[in-house]
Amino acid sequence: MIPKALDAAALAGPVEEVARGLLGVLLVRDDGSGRRVVRIVETEAYGGPEDRASHARAGRTGRAGIMFGSAGLAYVYLVYGMHHCLNVVCGREGEGAAVLIRAAEPIEGLERMRAARWTGSSSDRDDRLCAGPARLCRALDVDRALDGLDLLHDGRLHLAIDSPLPGAAPARGRVVTGPRVGVAYAGPEWALRPWRFGLAGHAGLSRPFAATV
DNA sequence: ACGAAGATTCACT
DNA sequence: GTGAATCTTCGTC
């Protein structure tokens, strides 16, 4: 496989469209001791200050300030004092939107991923090594040290497609949508918005989507 | 300055 | 299904 850098155009436009478009896209991690590649299978869209579920609601100062930067920057934060989550800043500069990468399918460097996950719980199947936003970060050794890096150009961590044809859409199946996970605090108007996207029936999803209508 | 809650995961009942 | 782990950030006093 020869990953090809993702075009910046893929991150322009409405955040929910970007979130949908990132499904099937590759995430390439290289910390100098071996390459790890995964394919994104689940995402969530988070808007700017108006989105009560988004970290951007606190404004451009603070931990989420990076969300107001240019498209392609990484926003990595710590939740529950122990887990990291990876976001891709998107839209126009100053907009404050980003897409949370919730789950991915391991493609290359599985041994490194297994080693990076501390539990090593035998019940964990390989296809679920990155089945969750924090599991993904753990498997790829993503933490706050990578906050703010350019995911379109940085060699340590970048987005890519594996299509041999320039501009061709990344391979992917049917897309399912649903409410974002764990954002009830934002109130029904925002919590119920179907801004969670996933590849239908994929084994690497973080959790099931409600049955499609 | 203080306290509550969190874009989660894992182990255990 | 329930609860603990663990610490940064934000809202409020």
Q: Is the pLDDT of residue A133 over 70?
A: yes
Region A31-51: mean pLDDT is 97
**Which nucleotide's C1' is closest to A64 (Cα)?**
C9
Range of the domain at A150: 4-199
On whether residue A79 sits in a domain, the answer given is yes
Q: Beta strand pairing status for A157-161 and A26-30? A: antiparallel
Region A49-56: mean pLDDT is 98
On whether residue A209 sits in a domain, the answer given is no
Query: Which of chain A's residues 42-101 bind strand C, using a 7 Å CB cutoff?
Result: 55, 57-58, 62-64, 77-78, 80-82
On whether residue A95 sits in a domain, the answer given is yes
pLDDT at A117: 86
List pLDDT tens digits, range A85-128: 999 999 999 999 999 999 999 999 999 999 998 765 545 799 99
On whether residue A213 sits in a domain, the answer given is no
pLDDT at A166: 56
On whether residue A104 sits in a domain, the answer given is yes
List pLDDT tens digits, range A135-186: 999 999 999 999 999 999 999 999 999 866 655 555 667 999 999 999 999 9
Number of domains within chain A: 1
Average pLDDT for chain A: 93
Protein CA at A57 to nucleotide C1' at C13, angstroms: 22
Q: What CATH code is carried by the domain that includes residue A19?
A: 3.10.300.10
- Better-predicted residue by pLDDT, A11 or A213: A11
Protein CA at A117 to nucleotide C1' at B10, angstroms: 12
